[in-house]
Structure 1
Amino acid sequence: MSFKINMPGIQSGPSQIGPSKSYYDAQARFQSILENKLNVKTASPMQSVQNSSGINAEDQGFNAQNVMIKSGVSAEVLNEKLMGTALEGLGSDFALAEQKYGINAWFLTGLAIHESGFGTSRISQDKNNLFGFKAYDASPYASATQFTSKSDSIDKVAQYLSENYTDPSGKYYNGTSVDDIGKRYATDPNWSNALQSRVAQLMKLG
């Protein structure tokens, strides 16, 4: 596989809301150990947020088993969730990407949050690259794609995902669940759980 996603260290800043990226990474690793090493069944991140807050992820329009099920979430709702973060005002871009490419807007927003630490990573700030797109492990900053704007980043990456990961004829197609995509998309084995935790976190904001 030629495409790798860098997982940059993120420092919490004034624009980052909620627990840090390291918290969710540690949570995902612990869940992975319980399930894969000790055979202890745990609740998924989306089940956990439903149990703790009464939020039903599927009712909100996110199904981790198929990211090609559109959420129908409005730009206004997403903007409310992202208010006060470095991603503020981009709700319409995530919603538009869902309409254009069919990929769930909650998933796309959660992916941007996870890869950029709510838009606080150096790559996202300097290169408008919200997804660590083409930030290869050997030279993450240098190799990361420069986008003309954050909106451009959302559109281009959503298109890339739709053509290469969610289309059965795509180069990296492995299915349309978060788990399926993660196995080809990321080098981190905990990527799927961590991303779902980010979506859960996002749904609780606002």
Structure 2
Amino acid sequence: VDVAFRYNHTFDNIDFALSHFWGTSREPTLSLETNPDSIEIYAPHYEIINQTGLEAQAVLGQTLIKFEAIYRSGQGKAYYATTSGLEYTFSGFASTKMDVGILAEWLYDDRGSSATTPMENDIFVGTRLALNDMSDTNILVGLVQDLSDNARYFFVEGNRRLTDRIRATIEGRIYDLPSDDRFNSTKDDDFIMLELAYYL
């Protein structure tokens, strides 16, 4: 049985939320084990956790400022993780209908190199383009750079409505990881995906 609650409130131009979750973690801990065939594998273990979260977002003119934080216990040593950043939007860029957003974020995980995700001390920079056309075309291009080593990855996400019932989505990732990076096994996981969705 999982238990969760969330409280949201808006004050002037600031939105914030408090949340708490008690139950089975959706993010397993991977431990190195030997299977019946004597092959070493990473086996997932789902612990019971307590997680408290805080989210805040403020709109100051053309600038959006956001902050997110969690504190989790029950999954090894208790830890906290944060994401903070901003987005500035140039509306009607170059006297057109387009909006161009410049984004920057800092992602931090108190667990450091023992974090189960690669975002333990990283920065993200990117740009978002919204054409504001009848097809609702938008694209996001960015780079995530690890501040602890030379690991990085580039990504692109975009979508466009082709008809009233068909939408096209594109997503891609390119990884650049040093040989000693703990996530080096994903260095060949570059991909580009094109999806067509039909809505009934």
- Higher relative contact order structure (alpha carbons within 8 Å, sequence separation ≥ 6): 1
TM-score by length of 1: 0.21
TM-score by length of 2: 0.22
Larger Rg: 2
